[in-house]
């Protein structure tokens, strides 16, 4: 004790020094642990950077900035989507108002059928007598199956758009337009008004099928395909059947022809051609020289064609 008393300042200094050394050691330990953690993170970042630099495409280097190029290309894709959107414009329903009533649809149906008949007459397109454009089952009704009016209004607008395209190309005759059944009233309708091809839905859109039967010559057929391709609504020609419209087949009604052995609906032999814009011209006889009364001789006379075309209307799903 006497030594401590004589060296009290030395003892106090030693104790303080030991405390400082302990604090310094603890501080060094904490910093070492933090440095080890930071080193591990740095190693992970370096490994990720190395992996990215070895990918194809890579983020780039001091000469080529692939990240900036990717952002520029993203803007180009967005601009393309905006420009392509004009080809996916929805066809307005007839009548357009939501929650369609029976009275409103009955009036719109009769008015629209009359408009289409007048348009066909103005374009010189022949129609079956008193043709109802696949709405014969609803044409005389004033009350309709519950829950079907909105879907019928959509189909009426779509059929009018398809008919307008056909009339604008001035085909010789429009024999029928077939649609999918969407109402209990359609069950009692004529089979010639409907198609059994189902609607399909994917992650982007709903594809609604229509089958159009018409008679025309080759130049008008080309115009029909071009008009569907250029329409503001995305109408995809999925298949096309072409036969000569001669003899009994040219004048037969779809109801009579479809009951003939081996005939498809619409009176066309089964020669379905899959794929978009698939086309098989009718068999041609060898060119024959026909003696005329002076002047040029007729080498080949074009035949009237009967065309059955499946068209699918693409309707984009609402954005989620």
Which residues, in sequence order, are CB contacts of 32 under 8 Å at separation 6+? none
Separation between Cα atoms, residue 113 and residue 122, nearest integer Å: 14
Rounded CA separation 256/77 (Å): 52
Phi/psi of residue 220, each to 5°?
-70, -35
Mean pLDDT of 275-294: 48
**More confident: 15 or 76:** 76
State the pLDDT confidence band at 116, using cuts at 50, 70 and 90: very high
Residues 266 and 211 sit within 8 Å (Cβ to Cβ): yes
Kindly report each contact of residues 164-169 with a partner whose C-beta sits within 8 Å and lies 24 or more positions away, as own/partner.
164/116, 164/119, 165/224, 165/227, 165/228, 165/231, 165/235, 166/125, 166/212, 166/214, 166/224, 167/116, 167/119, 167/120, 167/122, 167/123, 167/125, 168/123, 168/227, 169/216, 169/220, 169/223, 169/224, 169/227
Of the chain, the percentage scoring pLDDT greater than 90 comes to 36
> What pLDDT score does 254 carry?
42
What percent of the chain is modeled with pLDDT above 70? 76
Does the pLDDT at position 38 exceed 90? no
Phi and psi at residue 31, in whole multiples of 5°? -70, -35
Per-residue confidence (pLDDT) for residue 85, from 0 to 100: 72
CA-CA distance, 246 to 106, in Å (whole number)? Answer: 38
According to the model, what pLDDT value does residue 260 have?
A: 38
How far is it, in rounded angstroms, from Cα 299 to Cα 289?
A: 5
What pLDDT digit, counting tens, does each position of 220-275 carry? 999 999 998 888 778 889 999 999 987 434 444 443 344 333 444 444 443 333 34
3-state secondary structure of 97: coil
Predicted confidence band of residue 58 (pLDDT cuts 50, 70, 90): low
Distance CA 115, CA 137 (A): 18
Q: Give the chain's domains with CATH numbers.
A: 90-280+303-316 (3.30.70.60)
In contact, 177 and 134? CB cutoff 8 Å: yes
Query: Over the stretch 213-234, which tens digit does the pLDDT of each residue have?
Result: 999 999 899 999 999 888 877 8
Angstrom distance (rounded) from CA 223 to CA 1: 119
CB 93 within 8 A of CB 149: no
Look over the chain and give the mean of its residue pLDDT values, rounded to a whole number. Answer: 79
Most confident region among 42-51, 117-126, 233-242 by mean pLDDT: 117-126
């Amino acid at each position: 004790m006497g030594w401590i008393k004589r060296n009290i300042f030395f003892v106090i200094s030693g104790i303080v020094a030991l405390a400082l050394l302990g604090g310094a050691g603890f501080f060094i330990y904490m910093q070492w642990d933090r440095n080890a953690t930071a080193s591990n993170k740095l190693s992970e970042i370096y490994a990720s950077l190395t992996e990215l630099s070895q990918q194809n495409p890579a983020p780039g280097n001091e000469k080529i900035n692939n990240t900036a190029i990717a952002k520029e290309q993203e803007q180009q894709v967005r601009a393309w989507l905006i420009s392509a959107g004009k080809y996916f414009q929805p066809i307005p329903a007839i009548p357009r108002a939501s929650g369609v009533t029976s009275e409103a649809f009955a009036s719109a149906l009769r008015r629209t059928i009359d408009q289409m008949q007048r348009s066909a007459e103005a374009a010189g397109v022949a129609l079956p007598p008193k043709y109802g454009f696949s709405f014969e089952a609803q044409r005389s009704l004033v009350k309709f199956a519950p829950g079907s009016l909105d879907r019928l209004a959509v189909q009426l607008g779509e059929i009018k758009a398809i008919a307008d395209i056909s009339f604008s190309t001035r085909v010789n005759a429009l024999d029928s337009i077939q649609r999918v059944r969407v109402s209990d009233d359609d069950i009692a309708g004529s089979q010639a008004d409907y198609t059994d091809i189902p609607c399909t839905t994917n992650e982007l859109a709903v594809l609604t099928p229509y089958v159009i039967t018409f008679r025309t010559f080759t130049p008008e057929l080309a115009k029909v395909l071009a008009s569907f391709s250029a329409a503001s609504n995305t109408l995809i020609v999925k298949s096309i059947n072409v036969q000569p419209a001669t003899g009994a087949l040219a004048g037969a009604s779809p109801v009579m022809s479809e009951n003939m052995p081996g005939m498809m609906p619409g009176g066309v032999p089964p020669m379905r051609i899959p794929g978009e814009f698939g086309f098989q011209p009718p068999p041609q006889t060898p060119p024959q020289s026909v003696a005329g009364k002076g002047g040029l001789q007729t080498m080949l006379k074009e035949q009237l064609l009967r065309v059955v075309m499946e068209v699918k209307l693409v309707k984009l799903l609402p954005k989620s």
